[in-house]
Chain A
């Protein structure tokens, strides 16, 4: 999980490695995710998110593509 100063840098980095670029997340959106994901991390009573809760957290900050699904749909129990 890395930072890139521009989309051009990200695409060049992926091209050099022959890998496909994943979703690009702007810093303000990453901050919103961090606030929800880690904001209560030091609270002794705060549980770690379940896969379903994690999915909802990602969706809540606009990360809705299958890339962000913590459990691939085909692997979920009916």
Chain B
């Protein structure tokens, strides 16, 4: 496995274990690696769209399906709250973790809260709809807006 792949896996694993956004220093410690090498991998992962960073170029804004900053879309499981980037990722997190829990979001028009129990087999019956305003070919034109 390439070092870059190890860093990506460590980032996702850190999110999965804690729900907290990992830092380059934390990933370097987790891998027993030098910070400079981790930062080089960070840059490549950003170029490959495996992560999206904030304006400082370092803090993780997105490592799909996990969000590095609080959002209105969450998944709660085993005492950990995970922030999702969007409605899709709110279901993407339980799919990635393979764990039961509770998705919380809201209707973008009415503001009505959504509380959705999810088991390993999938979400409970729900008549709500998911909608993307941006077509797939344009998602990465502005992934944060998407």
A joins B in a complex: yes
Cα–Cα distance between A41 and B6 once the two chains are bound (Å): 13
A-B pairs with CB below 8 Å: how many? 151
Q: Contact check, A38 vs B96: say whether CB atoms are below 8 A apart.
A: yes
Contact with A along B1-41 (1 / 0, CB 8 A): 10001100100110010000000000000000000000000
Q: Contact check, A67 vs B136: say whether CB atoms are below 8 A apart.
A: yes
Whether, in the assembled complex, B137 has its beta carbon less than 8 Å from a beta carbon of chain A, the answer is: yes
User: How many Å from the CB of A28 to the closest CB on chain B?
Assistant: 7
Q: Which residues of A contact B114 (CB under 8 A)?
A: 3, 5
Which range contains the number of A residues in contact with the other chain?
Answer: 35 or more
Whether, in the assembled complex, B112 has its beta carbon less than 8 Å from a beta carbon of chain A, the answer is: yes
Contact with A along B37-57 (1 / 0, CB 8 A): 000000000001010000000
Report the nearest B residue to A11, measured CB to CB.
B109
CB < 8 Å neighbour of A30 from B91, B106, B107, B109:
B91
Q: Contact check, A10 vs B88: say whether CB atoms are below 8 A apart.
A: no
Whether, in the assembled complex, A6 has its beta carbon less than 8 Å from a beta carbon of chain B, the answer is: yes
Q: Contact check, A71 vs B137: say whether CB atoms are below 8 A apart.
A: yes
Q: Which residues of B contact A72 (CB under 8 A)?
A: 137
Cα–Cα distance between A7 and B110 once the two chains are bound (Å): 12
Q: Contact check, B128 vs A4: say whether CB atoms are below 8 A apart.
A: yes
Extra pairs beyond A2-B108, A3-B128, A28-B123 (17, CB < 8 Å): A3-B131, A4-B129, A10-B131, A23-B131, A24-B129, A25-B130, A27-B123, A27-B126, A27-B129, A28-B126, A38-B95, A39-B96, A42-B96, A67-B132, A69-B135, A71-B137, A72-B137
- Some 5 contacts from A to B, beta carbons below 8 A apart, are A1-B86, A2-B130, A22-B132, A35-B95, A38-B96
Q: Which residues of B contact A (CB under 8 A)?
A: 1, 5-6, 9, 12-13, 16, 48, 50, 64-65, 85-98, 105-110, 112, 114, 116, 118, 122-123, 126-137, 139, 146
